[in-house]
Each structure stands twice: as C-alpha cells, then as structure tokens.
Chain A
C-alpha cells in the first residue's frame, strides 16, 4: 500500500527531485502576475522602440537642399529645409550632423525626378519617405550598420539582458520564502540540497528561455511594423547569437541569485544580499551603454562573462567580430557558469538552514552540515 518508488539511491532520485522542484517553481511563477507583467513590458517596449521613432521622428528632421528642384521636392513635406549653395556645402552640413540628409540635383540621369538624396551612413528613411517619388540615395560613409541602428540594437540587447537578469530575483525570493516558512527543513530532509538548487536554476532558466523565445519572435515583428526591414536582415544573425548568450548568462546569474536568497532568513533582509548580483546585472548594462563608441572597451566587454551576453551580440550585429570570437566568448561564459554553479552549490548548502541575520559568504562556505 505504500506505492513508494524504490530508490536505488543516487542519480535517479536526484533527477526526479530536480524535475519536481523545477516543475513547482515554473508552475508558481507562471501563475504570478509579475511574470506576465514583466513579459508584457518587454514586448510592449520592443514595439515602442521600433515603431515610435518612425511615427514621431519625421517633423524634426533637418534637410539641406541644393538647387531649385530639390527645394521644390521638399516643399510641403514637413521637413525643416536649409537651402545651401552647392553639394560640398551640403556634405559639410551632413558631416557636422547639422542635417540628417541633403537633397541634391542628379547628374547621372539615374533619377526620374532629377534629384538624389545624400546621407552619412544610414539611409534616411524619413526623408526618402517624405518625397513623392523615392530618389536614389548616396551614402557618404557607407557602413554596414548605421549609427542609429547600432544604438537601437545596443539598447534592445541591453534592456532585454537587464530585464531577464533581474527576473532572477524570483529565485532569490523563492529561496528565502522556503527559509522563512521553514519548509526548507522538510525539503532538505527529503531530497539532496543540490537537487533543490538545480531544480530552481533549471525551472527559472526554462522560463527565461521561453521569454527569450517570445522576444526573439516579437522583435522581428516589431521591426517589420516599424518599417525596419533592412535592419531585420542584419539583426537576425545577431539575434541567433544573442539567445544562447542570454541563456548562459541567465544560468550564471541564477545560481548567484539563489545564493543571495540563501544568505538571509527573511524577505525584508533580501536587499542586503542582492547588491552584488544587482551590480553584476546593471554593470554590463551600463558598461555597454556608456562605452558603445569605444571599440577597445567593447571588445573586452564582449569576452568578459556577464557583459559578453550583451557586448558580443552587439559587435556581431555591427559586423565587428570574427566568427571565432563569439565561440570563444560563449566558451568562457559556459566555463564560468560551471564554476559558479559548483561554488554556489556549496555556499547554498552551507547557508540554507542558517537562521537569524545575514550570513557572511565566508561562513556559508565553511559550514558543511
């Protein structure tokens, strides 16, 4: 009548326990409002970033015009027009970032309307779209990826990393809930502590992969709606790299969030132990944002675990990275993941049953109980 599965000890029980813990974590989390609100914020944010500039950006665009045909074409477009004497003056204005583009007479006979559009590195969609007939576009410094697009990519990658990284707080909260309610004592007496940790990391990682997939699907749709088709083609391969980087990055952070939760005994004290992990999430975000123009720093960041999850996809997107680079960075990240999970597992075991104030990391490390 017992119906108890005979445990031949060891791995089978471990795997079953890990699966059960992961299942519970996912079930509880999928039922929480916070999860769905977080995901909705990301998706809405993605759409907002890609569509809003197109909607609101037009009115402020400054354009230089050379010759009467250009001025005529630009009349009634709502663009702010500055008439200049010749093409050289127009180019100077573009390079000085005084105007976004210039409309100049066509000398090649290629253009039906007799005008061409000049821009720095990025086809000026808002200008081209404002003209009745789309003229040919010449870029002064044709780059594979325009500056605007690069900024957009950095912002999106960094935001997604930030949000996904922060969602790891759920692991810390779940751990501290188990400590605070003392159910942890039943859990620890039933299954190995490492199975508890593994289950939490696995459960939340699966949830994160699910979210990343939603983002990976919503992102391209948003870009299409925002009229960034050409950007989409560029983003696609970077997005392919971003997914594994993000997943590994999350597992790395997940084990640290679990440790942060295990060091304290009450929700109220969680803030004191989460500081370091917060920094490891915010650091890469701000690092990549601030140093996006500094190729050297960005290259370093693209190999460092944590920040590599953002910086390497950004470099791939901009076409700055060779094929071996993301592989090496991903290898470094994976190695760090393994090492961190092992360390976290020991600290987690040492601190899980501790009650009272915050436990110092060194003490948690020394406690073998």
Chain B
C-alpha cells in the first residue's frame, strides 16, 4: 500500500500542494481526479521522486519510499516520451533492465507485453515509425515491463482510441487483480467512473474527497428514487412523507421527506395501480460529486 501523508509543495510563492494525504490500496484501481492545475501531476512526480516534497512523507508498506523501492514502481508520465530512434522492443527491454531486471527476463517480459498490447508485429521498428496510438501502447509497455509493485499512470487513456483503451484497460486490470495498487489520473470523469474502485479528488492542491467510489456516491448522493409506471405518475405527489423532485408523464423522481423507508410505500402503491416499468435509486455521477466537493 502506498501512503501519502501531508505532502506539500510550492513553486516560488505559489503553493501547489497543501497537506495532501491519501492511500492507494493493493489490488485496487484508484482514480485521481482534479481539474487542470489542481496538483495531480505534481503529486505523482513527488511520489516518483522526480520532484521533492517541501513537507510530508510518501511511504510504501509503512516505510519511507527509497530509490531502490521506486526502481520497482512503474510510471507513465503525462508527457509521453521514449527514444524516437531506438527499436520498440529494444528500448522497452532496456528500460526493464534499468528497473533491475536481468537481461533475459527483460526480453521475455517485453515480448509477452508487446503481444498482449497487440504491438508484437512492430517490435523491431523504431519508435518514431509507429502511429501515435501505438507509441502510447509502447509507453504502457515501458511502465509495465518490470512487473512493477506499484503503478502510477498520468492520464493513461488520453490519446487512445476506444479499442486501445479497452486493450490497455485489460492489461491494467490484470495487474490490479494480481494485487498491484494502481493510481491513475484523469480529467475525463466518465472514464474514471467506469474504471476505478477508489477515487481521490484533488482541488486547488488539497484533497477534496477520497474513498471507495460507491461509498462516495452514497456519501455525496441524495436518497432519490426514480419510478417509471405505465400511466401518469402524478399521484406520487399525494403520498405522505414524499417530496417530488420532478414529474414527466409516467416518470417521477422523488425523495423521502421524513420517513427513510417511504420508497417501499411508493413502490407498493404503484404496483397496486398497475405495471411498474422501472424503480431505481438515483446514484450521483462522479461528475456531480466532483462539482459538489470542489
């Protein structure tokens, strides 16, 4: 588990991070959300030791992160980059060695990963000869080649077409399933919503909210329900203990006004009146939570 505790950092007079604390748990995909300039990349760079923190600590399994530990982290920086004139497989395998792998293991891992990322047929080409999407896949391979104990990916899906997103996602999920903590940043909330188990929301250099995605939804969501019946749903207004938020023909959105179990009363009443086409709690999207907390 990676633990970030009270990390702060400023550039000149500008305080970029202010007491940032969160955890990335093993086997979970943690989405790191924030607007541009909110401090996502700075936080990641500090975790990777690329930048120094002015305060606070970053620890791995309870001990401060050292260079030797970091060498086993996998990192995909926001600004992508590999050697343009070097072969794809050659440089990924070299990076694997730089991360501490033996030459043979590095080669084996490279071949396996490139196949998995559907890039095996371009292994011998120079990086600059690849399309941008394929360069991106190579970048993912570079972050994974040494079987990292921790994965940190800055905007890993930007610039990927939908098929590539699925391919990369599959590879990342596999790592997470093997118990690797995965931290990835994104400003595309819909992507994070679909992928992550945990969410950390940063705003203006402070953590605005963090926790399991579903827990956050409950915490920040209202207890609204949506009911769809066969005919007009206007009658719900007259159920005691109910406040109707919106009615549109057969569809109504309401919330309990007092009695928390009134939803069951409404459902029973609806069933007595005729067929019920739909009945669901209204879960807030991350987008809504995001807007609420920042």
Contact = CB atoms under 8 A, between A and B. Distances in A.
Interface of A: 1-5, 7-9, 13, 16-17, 20-21, 24, 28, 177-178, 181-192, 353, 368-369
B206 interface: no
Given A13-B68, A369-B52, A182 B99 contact: no
B100 to A, nearest CB: 5
Given A3-B147, A7-B71, A28-B85, A187 B98 contact: yes
What 3 pairs across the A-B complex have the smallest Cβ distances? Answer: A182-B81, A3-B105, A181-B81
B82 A189 contact: no
A9 B72 CA distance: 12
Given A2-B147, A3-B109, A190-B95, 16 more contacts: A4-B101, A5-B100, A5-B101, A7-B71, A20-B97, A177-B84, A182-B77, A182-B81, A185-B75, A185-B79, A185-B81, A187-B98, A189-B48, A191-B98, A369-B51, A369-B52
B81 A7 contact: no
B287 to A, nearest CB: 30
A181 B70 contact: no
B246 interface: no
B235 interface: no
Contact of B146 (A4, A185, A191): A4
A353 B50 contact: yes
A20 B52 contact: no
B49 interface: yes
A15 to B, nearest CB: 12
Contact of A189 (B68, B73, B81, B94): B73
A131 B147 CA distance: 79
Q: Kindly name the residue among A7, A17, A183, A184 whose own CB sees the greatest number of chain B CB atoms within 10 A.
A: A183
B79 A17 contact: no
Contacts of A183: 81-83
A191 B71 contact: yes
A177 B82 CA distance: 10
B81 A184 contact: yes
A366 to B, nearest CB: 12
Give the secondary structure class of B's interface.
loop
A189 B83 contact: no
Interface string B22-56: 00000000000000000000000100111110000
A306 to B, nearest CB: 32
B142 interface: yes
Nearest to B143: A186
B79 A189 contact: no
B273 interface: no
Given A13-B67, A191-B71, A369-B52, A4 B99 contact: yes
A203 to B, nearest CB: 13
B277 interface: no
Nearest to A355: B79
A149 B25 CA distance: 75
Contacts of A188: 49-50
B49 A189 contact: yes
B81 A368 contact: no
B84 A181 contact: yes
Given A2-B147, A3-B102, A368-B52, A182 B94 contact: no
A368 B54 CA distance: 11
